[in-house]
A and B are shown apart, each in its own frame.
Chain A
C-alpha cells in the first residue's frame, strides 16, 4: 500500500517534471560542483591515474619510509575509510588499552570507518557515546590520563567546537601543567572527517586545522591517501602526545590504492617531498594535493618549468627543515590549502620562510597562497571557494613569471 503511494508520487514527479539524467535507482547526491564540458584544467581528479596513489603493490612497497619487513610483505586495495578501519582494527588487536568511541561509532560510523570493530573487539572497547562532543573528549582525556589509548571520533570536524575547551585547556596543557609529576594524555587521538565534498555547505565542509595549530601541545595531522592514513593514524595512536587526526572525507571513497596489510607507522611532524622540482615549491596537505598535482602536470608542460610538491602531513608541529631546504633550492614557493586563507597554515609557512635569513635571500618571488576565501563554505559556490586547478595553475604562472 505504502509502496504504491510512493510509486504514484514518483511517476507523478517524473511526468510533471523533465527528467534529469540520473536514473532513479542510483542513490546519488546532486553535486553542485561539476565542471563545465569545456574545462581542460578544472576536471575532476582521476584517482585511477594520479601519481599520488600507489596503483600497484610494487609501488606501494617501494616507499622508503616503510620498514623492511613491511616492504617484504603484502598489500591490499583499500580506499581511505577502509585503511582507517584497517588501522583501527590493528590498533585494537595489538593493544588491549585501545578504546574507540564517538557518536554512532558502534554500527560502523556515519563514514563506515569503524565497521565491524564493535563486533570483533567487543562493545566494551568500541561503543557509542551520547551526543556530546565535550563529553566525548573529556571522557577520552580522562581515560588517557589513566593509561588508556583513547581514540575518540568527532562525527564531523564541524562539530568539534563544543569540545574546544577540553582540547585547548585540557589536552594541550595537561603535560605542561603537570610538570615533573610527568602525567600526560598522550594516549589521546581525536579523529574527525574534514573538508568539502561538493554539497556540505556551512556545517559539513569545515577544515578547522588552523584553529588547532594555534594551540601548542596538540599534534595536528592530515593524511592525503590510504597508505598515509594507515601509517599516520597508527603513529598518532602510538604517540605520547595528544593528536588531532583530520581525515579529508572527500577521499574516503575516492582515493584507492594498494596498502601494506601489516601494521606500520609513518613519521609524525615530517613532511614528504612527493615530487622533486627546481623552479618552484608547492606546499600543501590533504585533499588539495591532488589539485596541485594536476596543476603541476599542466604547468610543467605549458611553461617548461619544474615544480616540487611537498605534503606537510603534520601541520603542527610542522617540518620546517624540509620546506626551507626545498625553497632554498627553488627560490619560489606557494602554499595551497582548502580552509580560509586568513591566519591559515599558509600564513605560518610563508612567515617562517621569510623569517629564515638564508631562505629569504634566496627568494625570487613573494610566497604566494591559494586557499579558501575568507568566507564560510557556501553550498552553491563551493567550486568557486575550494582552490581548483585553474587557480593553482594561474598562481604557478604568477610565481614563475614574477
Chain B
C-alpha cells in the first residue's frame, strides 16, 4: 500500500480531523452533563436523550393528541397556484413533465391490455402516482443516484428511459439489459444511474440507498471536484413496515447520509389497507422519530412534489449531508398488478371516487389550460404521437429475438465457474440429443451460444 499517495493522505487527515472534532464534542457534552447532574437542574442530560427536561407531571405521550402532519400543496385541485413562494419551472420543463406523465399512463393502458392478451406475463401500472414519480425525478440532478421499488415508471420516463428501453425489458428480449432473466417491470439503467427495481423485497433498496449516499459523500470528501450528489430512494408505505426501512432511516441519520427517502403512500400494499399496515400518522411521523427532516406532500400535485424534492435535495447536501424523508400521498387507482383483482378486497365505488376526485395528470392539465399553453388540440396531438411511439417500440420489441441461451449461466460470477461450464455443456448435449423436445429458435444464436 502506498501511504504517500496524496489522496490517501488527504483522507487520513480528514478522518483525524473529524475524529478529533467528535472527541471535542463528546468532551464538552460530558462536561455539560456532569454540570446538569446538580440537584435542581432542569435538564436530565441522560446520554440517550440529552435535551429532555425533568417534569413532575406523569403523562404518557398520546399520538392522538399530536396534530397530523399537514400535506403540502402548491397547486389546488383546479390547477390554481396556491403557494406563490416558489418559482414555477420553465414552460418547456413543465410541458415535458406533463408529457412524461401522459406517456406513462398511455404505456400503462397498452401494456395492461397486452398482458390480458397473453403477450407478456405480468405488468404493473402506476395510475395515480405519475405525479409523485415524474415530479420528484424532475428535481433531481443527472448525476444523482436513484433506487427504485417497482411502481416508478415515471421516474424512468423523466430520466430519459425510452419506450424501446421499456419494451425491451418488458419483452425480455435481446436488447434487454437484464438479459431476459427478470420479470416484466424490472427496469434498471446504469447509464441513468437508476439501481433497481427491487420487486423481490420491496424494501431492500432502502438501507442500500443510505449506504450509496454515504459512498457519494465520502467520494466527494476525497475529491471535492466531484459534484455534490444525493441518492433518492423510492418505496411504498407497505415496504416501510419491513425492518429494512427502520434500519435505513436510523443508519442514514447516524451517518448523516445525503439521501432522500421518498415514500409513495398509496393506501394499499396489495390487499392490505394502511389501517392494517400501521397505526401512526403515516410514514412521515416516523421520520422525526429518527431525527430526520420530514415533509408530507400531495402526490396529485406535481408542482408540490417537485418543489419539495428540490428543497429536500438542498437540505440533504447541507452541512456535509443528512437524510430527508418525503411522504407523497396518493391512492392506488390500479390493481396491485395484473395478477391482482383488487375488487376482491375493496369496493369499486371507492376506486371510482378517487379516480374522479383527483389525479396528477388532469390537475396539471387544468393549470396548463388556464395558462393558455395547452388545449384539446394539443392534447390530442400529444396523445396520438406518444401512443404511436409506444406501439412502434412495442411491435419492434416483441419481434426481437430473445437473448442467447448462454446468458442463463452468465453473470453468476464475474467469470463462468468450472461447474457452470460443465452444466452449460450438459444442457447443450441434452438439447442436441433430444432435438424434438426443445425449441431454441427464439434465442439469439440458437443452441450455438452454449458451445463457446
Contact = CB atoms under 8 A, between A and B. Distances in A.
B391 to A, nearest CB: 5
Contacts of A10: 113
Contacts of B203: 131
A381 interface: yes
Nearest to A156: B200
Interface of B: 106, 109-110, 113-122, 172, 179-183, 186, 199-203, 238-239, 241-244, 269-272, 276-278, 339-340, 344-345, 355, 387, 391, 394-395, 398, 402-403, 405, 407-409, 412, 417, 419-420, 423, 427, 430, 433-434, 436-439, 443
25 contacts: A2-B355, A5-B109, A6-B113, A17-B398, A19-B117, A24-B116, A26-B118, A29-B115, A35-B437, A35-B439, A40-B437, A42-B438, A130-B238, A159-B200, A162-B244, A202-B181, A203-B183, A204-B183, A373-B427, A374-B417, A374-B419, A375-B412, A378-B179, A380-B443, A390-B434
A42 B434 CA distance: 10
A29 B277 CA distance: 30
Interface string A135-173: 100000000000000000000001101100000000000
Nearest to B424: A373
Contacts of B121: 29-32, 198-199, 379
Interface stretch (A104-112, A223-231, A256-264, A280-288): A104-112
Looking at A32, A129, A131, which has the most chain B CB atoms within 10 Å of its CB? Answer: A131
B117 A394 contact: no
B16 to A, nearest CB: 37
A104 B342 CA distance: 12
A162 B118 contact: no
Contacts of A389: 437
A52 interface: no
A104 B387 contact: no
A384 B407 CA distance: 12
A373 B420 contact: yes
B437 A130 contact: no
Contacts of B172: 32, 379-380
B243 A162 contact: yes
B337 to A, nearest CB: 10
A39 interface: yes
B175 to A, nearest CB: 13
Contacts of B436: 36, 38-40
A239 B117 CA distance: 46
Given A6-B109, A29-B118, A40-B436, A379 B270 contact: no
Given A110-B270, A203-B200, A380 B181 contact: yes
Contacts of B241: 130-132, 135
Contacts of A204: 183
Residue among B403, B407, B409 with most chain A CB within 10 A = B409
Contact of B438 (A36, A104, A110, A127): A36
Nearest to B443: A380
Given A12-B391, A22-B118, A374-B419, A132 B242 contact: yes
A201 B183 contact: yes
Nearest to B355: A2
A85 interface: no
Given A30-B115, A36-B438, A203-B183, 15 more contacts: A13-B110, A13-B113, A13-B114, A39-B437, A103-B270, A131-B202, A131-B238, A131-B242, A134-B242, A159-B201, A161-B201, A162-B243, A199-B121, A204-B183, A391-B430
A128 interface: yes
A373 B423 CA distance: 7
Given A36-B438, A159-B201, A16 B182 contact: no
Contacts of A16: 391, 394-395
Contact of A202 (B182, B278, B340): B182
A107 B345 CA distance: 6
Q: Is the interface of A mostly helix, strand, loop or mixed?
A: loop
Interface of A: 2, 5-6, 9-10, 12-13, 16-17, 19-22, 24, 26-32, 35-36, 38-42, 103-104, 106-108, 110, 127-135, 158-159, 161-162, 198-204, 341-342, 373-376, 378-381, 384-385, 388-391, 394
A128 B276 contact: yes
B271 A106 contact: yes
Contact of A104 (B186, B201, B270, B423): B270
Contacts of A373: 408-409, 420, 423, 427
Contact of A199 (B114, B122, B238): B122
Contact of A378 (B122, B180, B199, B439): B180
Closest 6 CB pairs of A and B: A22-B118, A203-B200, A199-B121, A380-B180, A36-B439, A130-B241
A158 B183 CA distance: 14
Contacts of B437: 35-36, 38-42, 388-390
B245 to A, nearest CB: 9
A32 B172 CA distance: 11
Nearest to B277: A130
A24 to B, nearest CB: 6
A27 B106 CA distance: 21
A31 B443 CA distance: 16
